[in-house]
Amino acid sequence: MRDIMIVFRKEMKEWLHAKGGLASIVFNLLIYMGMFGVVLPLAQVEIWKVPNQLLVFYFFFLPSLIASTTTADAFAGERERKTLETLLSTRLSDRAIFLGKLAAVSVYTATMLFAIDLTVLTVVNIADGSPHFFMFPGETLFMLGPLAWIVTLFVANLGLFISLKVQSARIAQQIGSFGSLLISLPVLFGVVELSMSWKNLLMVGTVLLVAVAVSTAASIALFQRQKLIQ
């Protein structure tokens, strides 16, 4: 656990010290908040009151987009910057390196999503104009919370697979973003009908949870020093 935290802290620190530093992270967050927290919710206020399948954008596409970007940097980026082999030459276990990075990607993505969701809630309340405070329905909260988190973990694992196969973070990021968009589009455009009932949502959650467990186990098995050194 201590080793996982060491890797986690380093990852967070590296993001904070990336080009542009904290200012760049805040700027990105403001863009996300403006686009997905203000503009889109104002155009579709109703979907926040009654669970709608357009929310797939928020619980699937958005987590995928943010997680794939950060995962690409965490794995392919480390190889691209030629720091991976030195890291692998330390006493850290493969598992600690992998889980530390996975935790960092998850926390970073979850923080971004929480900020966006909070903005949405504020905007919907203002747009509603009701004197009573509006809170999302339980199904929506489930989608924005646990389901989005599970999707984040799943995408982070998939991102690892991609990162292991490509040399640059940019390629990994593009594949991840394009992949998540491809999966989201049929639902967003109504080609695939998705019922927003609790039963269905729990089923989706369970399936994704199993997928996360399987992909995490596969990722840990795949993330081996001897496979990473070329």
Partner 1 sequence: MPHLDAIITTDLTKCFQDVPALGNLNLRIKAGTVFGFLGPNGAGKTTTIRLLLGLLQPSAGSAEVMGWSVAHDARHIRERVGVLLEHHGLYERLSAYDNLAYFADIYHLEASVKEQRIKELLGSIRCWERRHEKAGSWSKGMKQKLAIARALIHDPELVFLDEPTSGLDPAAAHQLRDELVELVKQAGKTIFITTHNLEEAEKVCDQVGVIDRGQLLATGSPSELRGSFSRPKVIITIGGGAGAAEVADGPEVAGGAEKPSPLAAKALAALKHVSGVQPVAQQSVATRGLVAENRISVELSDPDSVPAIIRALVAAEIPIQEVHKVKASLEDVFLSLTQEEGSPPSHTTVTNADTGTAADTGTAAGTSTAATTAAQQKGGSQ
Instruction: Give the integer Cα–Cα distance in Å for 99 and 165.
Output: 19
Tell me, residue by residue from 67 to 86, as one string, x for binding to partner 1 by CB under 8 A and - for no binding: --------------xxx-xx
Residue whose entry in the numeric block shows the structure tokens 């709608």: 52
User: Which is nearest to 206 in space by CA: 129, 147, 145?
Assistant: 147
The answer to whether 130 contacts partner 1 (rule: CB under 8 A) is no
Of 24, 44, 90, 111, which one interacts with partner 1 (CB under 8 A)?
90
Q: Which of 44, 93, 111, 200 binds partner 1 (CB under 8 A)?
A: 93
Residue 222 binds partner 1 (CB under 8 A): no
Q: Contact 25/16 with Cβ under 8 angstroms?
A: yes
Q: If binding is defined by CB under 8 A, does position 132 make contact with partner 1?
A: no
List the one residue from 24, 30, 31, 89 that touches partner 1 (CB under 8 A).
89
Q: How many DSSP H helices and E strands does the chain contain?
A: 12, 0
Q: How far apart are CA 53 and CA 134, in angstroms?
A: 20
- Provide, rounded to whole angstroms, the least separation between the CB of residue 76 and partner 1: 15
In one letter, which amino acid is 229? I
Q: Which residues bind partner 1 (CB under 8 A)?
A: 2-3, 6, 9-10, 13-14, 17-19, 81-83, 85-93, 225-226, 229
